[in-house]
Chain A
């Protein structure tokens, strides 16, 4: 912990030295003070919160739509071989296409703005979710299903009391992975599709005016948010669900 703090301090000092040495122009590599000032002024006038809110809303809506698509399809693919055979090739072809490759096309279809960015988030997150739901359902211990069926649990009851809880750990893992994908896609989408607000848009605008301080401040916010979600939100979620039910093996860092 202490050593970590020392390294970060050293790194910051190195940056400060580099920034003030004038190898690159000050405008391009601003010293820490300037970055901090940019961050504080964006906090003071509230614009950073508006940008963050816009980005987070897009991620949330995109993830919600992706869940609504991926959970039913993944369940069908995991439970019924017919659906798996029908859908697997399509998933295999569509999954490796980077979501950001669609941005220019989606912008032409739906214009600049929220629809385009949300759709990019949906494309980016649906497949990793789908894959995890499918695999989660497929790898359910068949003895549990058969035991439940012997005890006359079918249809909804089988789903509600056996399949859903058994698949939930993989679904939660899927949500975590999908968030990582969505986070990349939303920033990239905002850079390319430039809606009115958003952290990606903030960086893109700052480039036009050579405001490297604003860009670095925005990167800092993006990093803190990413770390917060990865370390706090999802770890708490896993602790409250998967770990508590004793379904994860071993501790994770």
Chain B
């Protein structure tokens, strides 16, 4: 099958979805105010992109994502490495981490509002808390999964503890660490959108959706959802695939 026909087949599902949407619009399943036609949504998306609203909102959201994720990444990797290497830290932290891990981060949102008020600080902290457990668990598993023979042979060849850590354990655990970071980024993105709805921040994609609900601007909401999906896909595909290519795939620890 040629490349062109592959692309055409890929469009079939979108065409079907679009037709179903338009059919529902014309049939008046919902009032048109609540269920805009695709043309209106596209028009709104174009308008919001040109007047900069979409860019400003996306930038605000990405800014929170960046800080929250950096915080979670640093804390998560350090704690995960310590848990993997030091027995008493593992004993001490594992019960807490296992208990906190399955609590949805979003459930803390109202509590964080009480503690830290509204705005950027609680949003960033919440994203960091929600994300860090995924990073911790994966890093810890990664350190545990390093082949003990590698460590012993490095020992036998006279490597110091420090160089074993830097040259054996760290690269050995890296595939897991990167998986943890990738999963963490995806969950941070998902949670951030909801957090922005609850924290009444001044700008952001989640806020744009939530704010539009008050004015029944469903076209704005749908346009924002589309942007959220696209940015999420880019984060997943571009950022992490490249990072993996540059590290573990290149070192031959994982096939592309």
Residues of A near any B CB (own CB < 8 A): 3-8, 11, 24, 28-29, 82, 85-90, 92-94, 96-105, 107-109, 180, 183-184, 187-188, 191-192, 199-200, 203-204, 206-207, 210, 212, 215-216, 218-219, 222-223, 226-227, 229-231
The verdict on A104 contacting B34 (CB below 8 Å), with A3-B92, A87-B13 known, is: no
Q: Apart from A98-B189, A104-B210, A222-B103, what 10 extra A-B contacts exist at CB < 8 Å? A: A101-B228, A103-B194, A184-B191, A191-B106, A191-B109, A199-B107, A215-B111, A226-B101, A226-B104, A230-B102
Which residues of B sit under 8 angstroms from A204, Cβ to Cβ? 110
Mask, B63-103, CB within 8 Å of A = 1, is 00000000000000000000000001001111110111111
B221 at the interface (CB under 8 A from A): yes
Bound Cα distance A107, B210 (Å): 11
Number of interface residues of B (CB under 8 A): 61
Bound Cα distance A86, B229 (Å): 19
Of B12, B92, B101, B213, which is within 8 A of A107 by CB?
B213
Contact B209 A4 (CB under 8 A): no
Contact B213 A227 (CB under 8 A): no
Contact A227 B115 (CB under 8 A): no
Bound Cα distance A37, B206 (Å): 36
Which residues of B sit under 8 angstroms from A92, Cβ to Cβ? 233
Which residues of B sit under 8 angstroms from A97, Cβ to Cβ? 225, 228-229, 232
Contact B115 A93 (CB under 8 A): no
Contact A227 B218 (CB under 8 A): no
**CB-based closest 5 A-B pairs:** A226-B102, A96-B232, A3-B91, A207-B110, A100-B194
Contact A212 B96 (CB under 8 A): no
A1 to chain B, nearest CB (A): 8
Contact A223 B216 (CB under 8 A): no
Smallest CB gap from B109: residue in A: A191
B146 to chain A, nearest CB (A): 15
Which residues of A sit under 8 angstroms from B186, Cβ to Cβ? 96
Contact B190 A86 (CB under 8 A): no
The 19 sampled A-B contact pairs (Cβ below 8 Å) are: A3-B92, A4-B91, A4-B95, A89-B14, A92-B233, A96-B186, A96-B233, A97-B232, A101-B224, A104-B212, A105-B221, A109-B30, A109-B34, A183-B102, A183-B104, A188-B191, A191-B110, A203-B111, A212-B111
